[in-house]
């Protein structure tokens, strides 16, 4: 048909007709191309990216966490023992131990209001510690796993949780040895077989001011709110006649992001934090271990997160201490993951006095939960082409290196 129209136009010297036809054809072509491109971005083309090794065979020693290494700085005997066991950390730790430290008045971003507010909140969390465990009611209520899981799910949302998951606890969820407070050096026994884990949202507004003081105010606040819910729910479970322990900030026997991943709440991204479907890394976690009956959540692994992190690298680019690797995901100690340089990250925290949070706040997954951002998160999850587009668009809209938001006058 096209050829006939072209031939007729030439034969009758109707070049205007030819011009109009060509224009229409180009327009049509462009429209078709646009349509096919659009379809390509919306088809469920998830790609074949998968992780083959996700679970560890070993347990992590809490004494190796930065918080533990910081805590023993005031105890010469503990320090001596620690560096005898882990001499590879000795020189590394000497570099950050001379810096002012978290919430210290000599830190470079010190601001009395936000620092003291965060300090007060952490002290309040510390006061919750004795309630993590407690007496169990001898009169057990018989309840089915379906009923209890459903009740906890609904109640936790009422209390402020964004998402909740249940799983059977695995060996690698637990620390091998404790590294904080009066239980320093104590072996962790796997006691309860079930885990209940939930997330609470961190406000984008405060987080976006990081590394300034409001970001650590927000961290502390969400550790407090998640901790309060965990303590309250653990107490409830004990009143029902089952054993339960709340794992909250400064008093974990386990690695909460691993429990959350296995309970289907998200995946571990480049910055080493849990990336949740609704809020990305902008969450805090708390866990309850218990022998109460629960129904484990069926985890549906979402490898689009790892694929997207392979493409993105925004957290690594923004990190002021270069602690986040820019390399693709790789096998480390038998598990495919990214490993951040904790010494570099913590050293920066000890310089500025806050927990920074720049990586969390710039992550494309961490934008506000609204129709547009939820649509982008949906696209990233479902389409490999959309992922590439999302990386570019995020840089165009928010900047490759977004600047921290200004701290409002009332907090200065």
Asked whether the beta carbons of 337 and 326 are under 8 A apart, the reply is no
The one among 234, 292, 324, 407 contacting ligand SF4 by CB under 6 A:
324
The one among 128, 271, 286, 287 contacting ligand SF4 by CB under 6 A:
271
Of the ranges 141-149, 173-181, 265-273, 369-377, which one interacts with ligand SF4 (CB under 6 A)?
A: 265-273
Nearer to ligand SF4, 220 or 323 (CB): 323
Nearer to ligand SF4, 186 or 400 (CB): 400
Nearer to ligand SF4, 288 or 324 (CB): 324
The one among 59, 69, 261, 270 contacting ligand SF4 by CB under 6 A:
270
Query: Rounded to an integer, what distance in angstroms lies between the CA atom of residue 206 and that of residue 215?
Result: 5
Phi-psi region of 141 (alpha: psi -120 to 50; beta: other; left: phi over 0): beta
The one among 60, 96, 365, 386 contacting ligand SF4 by CB under 6 A:
365
Nearer to ligand SF4, 107 or 148 (CB): 107
The one among 101, 264, 266, 364 contacting ligand SF4 by CB under 6 A:
364
C-alpha triplet 276, 45, 34: angle, nearest 5°: 110
Query: Rounded to an integer, what distance in angstroms lies between the CA atom of residue 223 and that of residue 336?
Result: 28
Residue 156: count of CB within 10 angstroms of its CB: 23
CA 377 distance to own-chain centroid: 15
Q: Is 345 in the site for ligand SF4 (CB under 6 A)?
A: yes
Name, in order, each residue with C-beta under 8 angstroms of 142's C-beta and a sequence gap of 6 or more: none
Query: Rounded to an integer, what distance in angstroms lies between the CA atom of residue 280 and that of residue 104?
Result: 30
The one among 230, 309, 384, 407 contacting ligand SF4 by CB under 6 A:
309
Nearer to ligand SF4, 292 or 359 (CB): 359
Of the ranges 13-21, 79-87, 109-117, 307-315, which one interacts with ligand SF4 (CB under 6 A)?
A: 307-315
Question: In the complex, what is the shortest distance from the CB of residue 289 to ligand SF4, in angstroms, rounded to a whole number?
Answer: 28
* Number of residues written out for the chain: 412
Decide: helix, strand or coil at residue 245: strand
CA distances from 305 to 243, 388, 400 (A): 35, 12, 19
Q: Is 348 in the site for ligand SF4 (CB under 6 A)?
A: yes
CA distances from 349 to 102, 251, 358 (A): 6, 21, 11
Query: Rounded to an integer, what distance in angstroms lies between the CA atom of residue 2 and that of residue 165?
Result: 60
Of the ranges 24-32, 118-126, 284-292, 317-325, which one interacts with ligand SF4 (CB under 6 A)?
A: 317-325
Binding residues vs ligand SF4 (CB under 6 A): 269-271, 308-309, 312-315, 319-321, 323-324, 340, 345, 348, 356-359, 363-365
């Amino acid at each position: 048909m096209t050829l006939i129209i072209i031939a007729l136009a030439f034969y009758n010297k109707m070049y205007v007709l030819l011009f109009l036809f060509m224009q229409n054809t180009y327009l049509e072509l462009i429209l078709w191309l646009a349509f096919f491109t659009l379809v390509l971005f919306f088809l469920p083309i998830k790609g074949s990216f998968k992780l083959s090794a996700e679970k560890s065979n070993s347990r992590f020693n809490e004494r190796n966490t930065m918080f533990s290494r910081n805590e023993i700085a005031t105890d010469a005997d503990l320090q001596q023992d620690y560096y005898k066991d882990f001499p590879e950390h000795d020189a590394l730790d000497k570099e950050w131990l001379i810096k002012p430290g978290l919430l210290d008045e000599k830190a470079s971003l010190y601001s009395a209001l936000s620092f003291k507010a965060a300090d007060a909140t952490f002290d309040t969390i510390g006061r919750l510690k004795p309630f993590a465990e407690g007496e169990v009611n001898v009169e057990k209520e018989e309840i089915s796993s379906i009923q209890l899981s459903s009740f906890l799910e609904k109640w936790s949302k009422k209390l402020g949780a964004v998402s909740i998951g249940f799983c059977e606890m695995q060996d690698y969820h637990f620390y091998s040895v404790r590294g904080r407070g009066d239980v320093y050096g104590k072996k962790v026994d796997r006691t309860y077989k079930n885990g209940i884990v939930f997330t609470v949202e961190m406000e984008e507004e405060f987080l976006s001011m990081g590394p300034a003081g409001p970001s650590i105010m927000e961290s502390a606040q969400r550790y407090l709110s998640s901790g309060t819910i965990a303590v309250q729910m653990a107490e409830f479970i004990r009143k029902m006649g089952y054993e339960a322990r709340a794992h909250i900030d400064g008093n974990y026997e386990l690695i909460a992001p691993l429990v959350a991943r296995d309970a289907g709440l998200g995946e571990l991204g480049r910055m080493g934090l849990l990336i949740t479907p609704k809020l990305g890394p902008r969450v805090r976690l708390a866990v309850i271990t218990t022998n109460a009956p629960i129904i484990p959540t069926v985890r549906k692994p979402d490898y689009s997160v790892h694929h997207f992190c392979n493409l993105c690298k925004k957290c690594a680019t923004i990190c002021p201490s270069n602690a986040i690797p820019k390399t693709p995901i790789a096998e480390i100690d038998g598990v495919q993951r990214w490993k951040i340089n904790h010494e570099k990250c913590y050293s920066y925290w000890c310089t500025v006095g806050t927990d920074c949070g720049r990586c969390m706040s710039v992550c494309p997954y961490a934008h506000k939960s609204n129709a547009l951002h939820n649509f982008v998160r949906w696209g990233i999850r479902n389409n490999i082409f959309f992922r590439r587009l999302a990386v570019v668009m995020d840089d165009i809209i928010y900047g490759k290196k977004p600047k921290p938001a200004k701290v409002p006058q009332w907090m200065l």
